[in-house]
Structure 1
Amino acid sequence: MPNTPSPRADHDDNSLAADWRRNLVEAGPEAAQVLAALAETGAAEMAVHFYQVMMGDPRASRLLSHEQVRTRLQPAMQRWVNGLLRATPDDVEGLIAAQRVIGDVHARVGIPVDLVTRGTRVLKQRLFQSIATLAGHGQVAHAAVASLTASFDMALEGMTLAYSNARERSSRTDAAYRLFSLVQNVGTERERQRALLLDWENTLLYALASQCDTAGFQSLAGSEFGLWFTHKGVPSFGESAETRQICELIGEIDDALQQTLHDENDARVRATQLQDIRGRVSQVRSLLGMLFERIGELDAGCDTLTNLLNRRFLPTVLRREIELAAKSQSSFAVLLLDLDHFKTINDEHGHEVGDRALQHVATILGQFTRGSDYVFRYGGEEFVVVLVAVDEPQALVIANSLCRRVAESPVVLANGGGLDITTSIGVAVHDGHPDYERVMARADAAMYQAKKRGRNRVVLADGSLPEAPERIALQRS
């Protein structure tokens, strides 16, 4: 569904455009010439100054790397400053559209509004000094300062409006996501996670009782239960005292486990420590039961044909994975799968067989990914898999396995026959960029290359891949 502006947004844009045009007209041609001359000589220096201020704040430096600033953001800022300084009344519609895009990106990345306003404030101060140097302190200089101030303020207003709308949409989606909780069958999921936790505990007991080598024993945080809770449980249940307590208990269990397995040789002390670990595991189990009792089954966000998640919650999932990757210095990967020759399947065998093929692939994706991973029907014959806590080699192994399993598993037809299908898969490993649209764009470009190279294959995204044509942004869904 297209993300079209609301009537309120249209009204706000029209009002902003009228004010902006009036400001540029009232400034007069001489002030416009001063600002255009400033663009010629100072836009590049202003961009450097802006990011020097921004990167001095630890919040910005956590979101942005110096390489990203140098290669992409400073040139973009230079174009932005240049656009404002050279603006004419005929440019206003385009300028407002550009501010809307910038505000959307800031919302996706999570750039704090106060950082942006601080950056524009210091830019204006530097530009005022440059105007005084260039035009003195006469009437023309004052008109240039007034026009520049109004243009910056109105650009910031347009950004903030888009930012607020985007964050409001995200908040609504995040709330719906927590309600939906990604747990279509609460009872089954509750028992599954309890069983995984019990299995981890029993494996630990067996390892200690049999006195086998425990050096490589899996931590609770890295176990299948731990990955599920971190990547699905917390966003499903929502941040609460219980989820925070479970996270703290998992950390305490792993710290105690490290000491018990590697630092303590006295059998009696180890037994005491083990009882303490089991007590904490019991607390986790109890808290988990309380959390499951609070949630119910909801269908919103579920694709009715495949019973997978639909793309509604994909931005929410990607935002969280980016946050987790930044906090833990880990990574994740996005797989974008497209069934090969799907139109031919529908044309030659009918839409019922096409639907059966989609359900068949959805089943394979659900069976051969981990419980902590996410599987979405992205739209049409496309699927997205978000692989949590993986590096590039691991992501490629999983992607190639899925590609092979689809090719080796014909769709069973109503007459008992089989229909061979294949899929093209693009793989993108998160590269540290805070905008989730980037990892999706890279996966999409890689999938497009898999199609071009003959289909039924996996292609890894890298910097040399061209953009896929006509890519639809997530925010437009």
Structure 2
Amino acid sequence: MNNVTSHNADAESSALVIDWKNSLAAAGPQASQVLADLGDQHAAELAAHFYKVMMNDTRASRSLSHDQVRGRLQPAMQRWVGDLLRANPDNVESLIAAQRVVGDVHARVGIPVDLVTRGTRVLKQRMFTLIAESAGHGKAAHAAIASLTASFDIALEGMTLAYSNARDRSSRTDAAYRLFSLVQNVSTERERQRALLLDWENTLLYALASQGEVAGFQPLAQSEFGLWFTHKGIPSFGESSETQQINALVSGVDQLLQHTLNRDSEPSSRALQLQEVRTKVSQIRNLLGMLFERIGELDAGCDALTNLLNRRFLPTVLRREIDLAHKSNGSFAVLLLDLDHFKAINDEHGHEAGDRALQHVASILNQFTRGSDYVFRYGGEEFVVVLVAVEEQQALVIAEGLCRRIHDAPVPLSDEQRLSITASIGVALYDGHPDYERVMARADAAMYQAKKQGRNRVILGTDSLPPAPGLSPLQRR
């Protein structure tokens, strides 16, 4: 958040704090006690009621699985309701800060604002009924309802403020990432993808010419080219008629392979179907060339030392991978790598040696991950790898391989010495939670455990691991 945005947000938060304190003061102690009793007695019931209503909406159920509701979200909602009902002048500032965190989470997950508004309306209606049942319709009850309405409205305003700011930042970062990814080694990437497409076609030709069985042949969508186009090509070029046509052509090719070529052993029929496949692949190649030709020479930066992706683009990538995983019922993994004893390298060999070590590791990560994967310089001596379309075992095999390669490849220094280096790696598999910070937190916790258990190892992140130091209680929720 830039300084202007931060200053404006702080000023607006201060105004909300003042309004909330004034509302509580106007309500009086009796009304405050009515609301506090409501929180003590009915917070769990209200949270359950909220999610029962929300899960009937298909947009909400996309982001909120039943397991997640029971295991984490419903208890968090219960705490949120209880905190609001027990609001007092001494804690409203921390409550506003909490609403800001909630708004940021909603923005990351992509929960529509109207769903949040509906949720607060549902809760207020239920609370009005409970207040009438417990306090009747006297002065204290009316004051409690007025105070409750103000508290919920102010909390929602605080959430919306943070939500709007976060969405604005995300939109700017997404646009910047698109420009950045478009200009990274354009000519090299174009030729690489053309070669991958040609290699896939030639492999198919060989299988058919040798009368081989193509039932197990790799579909185009799952080939190196297909994974690159889905996970990197589309977000780079943007959604367009050309990208949609390429997607349709890829699906058409794979349908031909699955439904026709595998069942028909007649050479003449195979030749006709093969020609149709080659025609579609040729169309893909032409459309891809058109997309690359549109790319202008743009000035876009990356990590100056390692030439890896900048960490500010990580949320953009993770949001898209979560969306793709949801649509395809697939998964992905995050690897968080930290170079071991890096401070000692700088202290004993100088910062030039440290820089060489970072560049060396970046080269290994680029060389031994797939073209569809993402490699980031996360900061300092930390790196992040996003492995697309993988399951747990495959992610662990790749992580172990990277750990071993870093250990087995000493860093060449300028004085012809070779510096041994190792890395601790935390692995976290996407588990369906819509907030990308959850998978990052599990990778961080796993990496921290790898450090504690002796370094130079890979640890799989699970919910049973204690969180890594440095997370606030709000971030751990």
Q: Which amino acid aligns with 2:222?
A: G
Three-state SS of the structure 2 residue aligned to 1:398 is helix
- Residue in 2 aligned with 1:445? 445
Cα distance in 2 for partners of 1:44, 1:53 equals 15
Aligned pair count reads 474
Shift of 1:261: 2.3
**Post-superposition offset of 1:269:** 2.4
The alpha-carbon distance between structure 1 residues 375 and 182, as it changes in their structure 2 partners (threshold 3 A), is: farther
Q: How does 1:298-313 map to 2 (within 5 A)?
A: 298=298, 300-313=300-313
Change beyond 3 A, Cα 1:429–1:77: same
Q: Is the 8 A contact 2:182 2:295 kept in 1?
A: no
Q: What residue is the counterpart of 1:275 in the other structure?
A: 275
Q: Structure 2: how far apart are the matches of 1:218 and 1:147? A: 63
Shift of residue 32, structure 1, vs aligned partner: 1.1
Deviation (angstroms), 1:376: 0.5
Question: Shift of the alpha carbon at 1:270?
Answer: 2.3
Inter-partner Cα distance in structure 1 for 2:453 and 2:301:
34
Give the equivalent residue in structure 1 for 2:68.
Answer: 68
Secondary structure in structure 2 of the residue aligned to 1:292: helix
Deviations 1:262-294 (A, max 9, x none): 232333222222212211111111111111112
Aligned to 2:466: 466
Q: How does 1:166-245 map to 2 (within 5 A)?
A: 166-181=166-181, 183-245=183-245
1:120/1:452 CA distance change after superposition, 3 Å = same
Residues of 2 paired with 1:365 and 1:202: CA distance? Answer: 29
Code of the residue aligned with 1:221 in structure 2: it is: A
Aligned AA (1:447): M
1:260 deviates by 2.5
> Counterpart in 2 of 1:253?
253
Contact 2:306–2:377 (8 Å) recurs in 1: yes
Specify whether residues 307 and 292 from structure 1 end up closer, same or farther in structure 2 by C-alpha distance, changes over 3 A only. Answer: same
Kept in 2: contact 1:372–1:388 (CA 8 A)? yes
- For 1:266 and 1:400, the matched residues in 2 are separated by 46
Distance 1:3 1:67, change over 3 A: farther
1:114-135 deviations in whole A, cap 9, x for unaligned?
A: 1111111111110001111111
Does structure 2 retain, via aligned residues, the 8 Å contact 1:184–1:298?
Answer: no
Match of 2:314 in 1: 314
Q: Is 2:374–2:385's contact at 8 Å kept on the other side of the alignment?
A: yes
- The one-letter code of the counterpart of 1:79 is R
The residue type paired with residue 84 of structure 2 is L
Once residues 24 and 270 of structure 2 are traced to their aligned partners in structure 1, the CA distance between those partners, rounded to angstroms, is 77
Secondary structure at 2:162's aligned position in 1? helix
3-state SS in 2 of match to 1:300 = coil
State how far apart, in whole Å, the 2-side matches of 1:226 and 1:133 are: 61
Asked if 2 retains the 8 angstrom alpha-carbon contact of 1:186 and 1:296, the reply is no
Letter in structure 2 aligned against 1:62: R
Residues 431 and 3 from structure 1, CA distance in 2 versus in 1: closer, same or farther, beyond 3 angstroms?
A: farther
| Post-superposition offset of 1:344 | 0.7
- Cα deviation, residue 437, structure 1: 0.5
**1:434 has 2:434 as partner:** yes
Query: Are 1:155 and 2:155 matched, yes or no?
Result: yes
What are structure 2's unaligned runs of at least 5 residues? none
Listed as ranges, the matches of 1:329-344 within 5 Å are 329-344=329-344
Q: Which stretch has the larger CA shift, 58-67 or 46-55?
A: 58-67
Query: Secondary structure of 2:173's match?
Result: helix
Q: What is the 5 A alignment of 1:384-395?
A: 384-395=384-395
Instruction: Report what 2:368 is aligned to.
Output: 368
Q: Which residue of 2 aligns with 1:141?
A: 141
Moved more, 75-84 or 134-143: 134-143
- Alpha-carbon offset, residue 296 of structure 1: 3.6
Report the Cα distance in structure 2 between the residues aligned to 1:402 and 1:20, rounded to whole angstroms.
53
Structure 2 SS opposite 1:466: coil
Deviations 1:64-105 (Å, cap 9, x if unpaired)? 211110121111111111111111122211111010000000
* 1:334–1:427 contact (8 Å) kept in structure 2: yes
- Equivalent position amino acid for 1:49 in 2: H
How far residue 255 of structure 1 moved from its aligned partner, in angstroms, is 0.9
**Equivalent position of 2:408 in the other structure:** 408
- Report runs of 4+ in structure 1 exceeding 6 Å deviation: 1-4
Identity of aligned residues (%): 75
Three-state SS of the structure 1 residue aligned to 2:222 is coil
Deviation at residue 299 of structure 1 after TM alignment: 5.3
| Pairwise CA distance, 1:3 | 8.8
Who is 2:346 aligned against?
346
What is the rounded CA distance, in whole Å, between the counterparts of 2:349 and 2:297 in structure 1? 35
Identify the residue that residue 164 of structure 2 maps to in structure 1.
164
Residue by residue over 1:136-191, the C-alpha shift from the partner in whole angstroms, topping out at 9 and shown as x without a partner, is 11222111111111111111111011111101100100011111126511001000
RMSD over aligned Cα atoms: 1.7
Alpha-carbon contact 2:215-2:258 (below 8 Å) kept: no
* Equivalence for 1:121: 121
Q: Please tell me whether the aligned partners of residues 450 and 459 of structure 2 are also in contact (alpha carbons under 8 angstroms).
A: yes
- Structure 2 distance, partners of 1:268, 1:141, is 85
CA offsets, 1:234-276, max 9 Å, x none? 1111112211221111111111121232232333222222212
SS of the residue corresponding to residue 338 of structure 1 reads strand
- AA partner of residue 208 (structure 2): L
Q: CA deviation at 1:297?
A: 4.9
Determine the structure 2 residue equivalent to 1:396.
396
What secondary structure, in the 3-state scheme, does the structure 2 residue paired with 1:375 have? strand
In 1, the alpha carbon distance for the partners of 2:308 and 2:167 equals 25
Retained in 1: the 8 A contact 2:213–2:262? no
Letter in 2 for 1:153: D
| 1:235–1:4 distance in 2 versus 1, CA, 3 Å | same
Question: Does the Cα contact within 8 Å between 1:181 and 1:295 map onto a contact in 2?
Answer: no
Taking the TM superposition and a 5 Å limit, the aligned residue runs for 1:9-24 are: 9-24=9-24
**Aligned equivalents of 2:135 and 2:448: distance in 1?**
53
- For residue 37 of structure 1, what is the aligned residue in structure 2? 37
8 Å Cα contact 1:335/1:428 also seen in 2: yes
Tell me the distance in 1 between the aligned counterparts of 2:128 and 2:383: 52
- Offset from partner CA, 1:284-337 (integer Å, 9 cap, x none): 111111111122454535100001112010011111111111111111111111
User: Counterpart in 1 of 2:293?
Assistant: 293
Does the CA-based 8 Å contact 1:184-1:299 persist in structure 2? no
Relative to structure 1, is the Cα distance of residues 301 and 313 closer, same or farther in structure 2, using a 3 angstrom cutoff? Answer: farther
